Amino acid sequence: MLTALHEFNSCVMCKGATEEFQILANSYQGPGAFTTKVFFAMVDYDESPEVFEALQVTSVPSFFHFSAQWKFTTDDIYNLRGRDIVADQMAEWVAERTHVSVRIRQPTNYHGLLKLGILLALTGGLGYFLKWNRKSISCRILCEVLTLCFVIVMTSGQMWTYIRGEPYVQRDPRTGHKHYISKFSQAQFAAETFIISLFNMCVTLGMVLLDKAATSTMNIIKRKMMCLAGMCLVAIFFSWLLSLFRFKVPDYPYRFLWD
């Protein structure tokens, strides 16, 4: 791998590409790997510019395969137009060129452990609260909130994303920009599930406000304000949900307020 990590070089893709390359190399160094068949090396422009001049490399990051027979072809250059800079696809390319399979081992996801810790803390806090206030066990509002949270999480695609092992975001190999929403209808990033959950929560809150405005005994001014806020929440965020769906499925015929 040829790269330029110094911030002065303004390579927005190099950091992410280096992380994926290191995941690939570390996966090959795992137990049972044939560590004498394939060697991974990374060259930085600021440390060895003569290598870039010898290979006539003018753009980074670049990936090359050099075989023991010294037969170099265009297939020995990683095609950034047809492939993404992710460890899985680079492992496929390595297997094509060397016939050595590399099983990618992703690093420990500390974000998942943090989420689990927060969930356990909330569960423990709720249990402690219920211990001192047993009347809350039968509290209708608490049950409604927990039910809505469960439904929103399930309908946002969180479990589907977890089972599929989808990435949190995806980096564009040409521009280096991060994409939080997948453009494919059969894929969904983890960040996308949080966006959908937020939209669903806002729509649900709007419906609750509309219901309370119709059944509450408050004065008419507060009821009108609740009704207006509920209508705005439902209209705006439901329209954004449709827009997100139309982004993933362009042929979908229905829209609301805007594209």
* Higher local confidence (pLDDT), 131 or 98: 98
How far is the C-alpha of 19 from the C-alpha of 39, rounded, in Å? 17
DSSP result, 3-71: E--SGGG--TTHHHHHHHHHHHHHHHTSTT--TTT-----EETTT-HHHHHHHT--SSSB-B---TT--
Instruction: Decide: 72 and 66 in contact? Cβ < 8 Å.
Output: yes
Locate all alpha helices (DSSP H) within 29-184, ordered by sequence.
49-55, 87-98, 110-132, 140-155, 158-164
How far is the C-alpha of 230 from the C-alpha of 202, rounded, in Å? 9
For the chain, which residues make up each domain, given as ranges? Answer: 2-98, 139-248
Sign of the torsion formed by the C-alpha atoms of 75, 81, 82 and 88: positive
162, two tokens = 């977890």
CATH fold for the domain made of 2-98: Glutaredoxin (3.40.30)
Instruction: Decide: 195 and 259 in contact? Cβ < 8 Å.
Output: no
- List pLDDT tens digits, range 9-40: 777 788 888 888 888 888 887 555 455 678 88
Whether residue 257 has pLDDT greater than 70: yes
Instruction: Decide: 173 and 83 in contact? Cβ < 8 Å.
Output: yes
Q: What is the pTM of this model?
A: 0.50
